[in-house]
Amino acid sequence: MNAVVAAVAVMLVLSLCRVHVVVALILGALTGGLLGGLGLQATLETFQSGLGKGANIALSYALLGAFAVAIAKSGLAHALADRALQLVDRQQQGGAGLLKLILVLLLGSVAIASQNILPIHIAFIPLLVPPLLYVMARLNLDRRAVACVLTFGLITPYMFLPVGFGGIFLNDILLANVAESGAEVADINVMHAMALPALGMLLGLLVAIFISYRKPREYDVARIRQVERMEGGYSPMSLLVALAAVVAAFVIQLWLDSMIMGALAGFVIFSVSGVVRWKDADGVFTEGMKMMAMIGFIMIAAAGFAEVMRATGAIQTLVDSSAELIGNNRALAALLMLLVGLLITMGIGSSFSTIPIIAAIYVPLAMQLGFSPMAIVALVGTAAALGDAGSPASDSTLGPTAGLNVDGQHNHIWDTVVPTFLHYNLPLIAFGWLAVMVL
């Protein structure tokens, strides 16, 4: 069995059996390394050498956690939550559905903006979502639907709109690698190429909101109260400082391209202004880091896992073997190449990193089979995006869990990973395959 397939299978099965994701990633990496011929010692050394590649994002998560707790102290997010609660109290029983839809649209809009308009990625989730958990509980809103909404907003914009992160994914990575591998992309409208796959994502979102998770789901309000202050002590001055800190954090992040410096700047503003008292600053910082520690460790372990997968050489073997199975069957070719992309992205947790791996083989093969340049762009782009939703190690699933599980009532695997995998990867395969066949 191919080492990548085995490693990803072990990681997913263990995760579904409620083994902690970090443990599942370590055991999956060991399985892949041993089957890939690295040996135990080389596998461990490779895994450890890859850990440092996840340190930057892990530290970013930790500082965002500290920044989120500081914002909670200021009362900014709670002021928003209080306003939402006032709307809940005013509504009659029949109006709850409208409020649910408004809340879902708000979170979805912010998630989409975080990719293209104000490219801050997942930085908004630990700041905005936790204070709204009480509102969600009052509305009996299923958090699995919210996880699907957030993941949709984190993925679909970059795979369809060539702005912000989408500009990097579509222009700098997708079109550049397809062109480098021999296809003519000068006249390609990348939005046209990715329109059908994006439509598949939209279909999955609508199914999640209006069918799968439409029914009310109850949550323990007492557990939410333990981690989120329900009655915020905020003043106009604290809200003004909080707003200034948020703006400063986002501006510095965009300026320096560093979530670490952005979050640190925001926290310093809170401390200097007195919203977070100097003697409490250390405790607030530690509390925030603990809140995000699990996510950070998963990202570090995922980096080690990906390094082992690359070192085995089995990713290239998997791509080559799929090419041998295809023959001249265009329909089978499109399906197999999409499924291989799904496995690779779920293994390394990054659609951006998958494109350089698969483009060198997929593009010449697709050209030989007679696919048009537009279809080739759709094929490679969809194959890379597959697995970003539904991967236990992807920040597109870890981010939503970080915001929704602060009270321990949202399981990463069963409440984020499985719902997003089913609602996005399945329609993405179907609509991606259709795009490749008709373009």
61-74 residue pLDDT tens: 677 777 777 777 77
Total of domains in the chain: 1
pLDDT band at 394 (very low <50, low <70, confident <90, very high): confident
87-124 residue pLDDT tens: 666 665 555 677 888 888 888 888 888 776 665 667 67
Percent residues over pLDDT 70 in the chain: 86
CA pair distance 19, 418, nearest whole angstrom: 15
Categorise residue 395: left if φ over 0, alpha if ψ from -120 to 50, beta otherwise. Answer: alpha
CA distance to 23, 142, 164, 213, 431, per residue, from 201 (Å): 30, 20, 19, 16, 9
- Lowest mean pLDDT across 42-51, 95-104, 405-414: 95-104
- Answering whether pTM is above 0.85, one says no
**Mean pLDDT, to the nearest integer, of 136-164?**
89
- Lowest mean pLDDT across 36-40, 273-277, 295-299, 388-392: 295-299
Which stretch, 27-36, 91-100, 339-348, 390-399, has highest mean pLDDT? 27-36
User: In terms of Cα–Cα distance, which of 301, 305, 303, 297 is closest to 31?
Assistant: 305
**Which residue segment(s) compose the domain that 430 sits in?**
3-438
pLDDT band at 416 (very low <50, low <70, confident <90, very high): very high
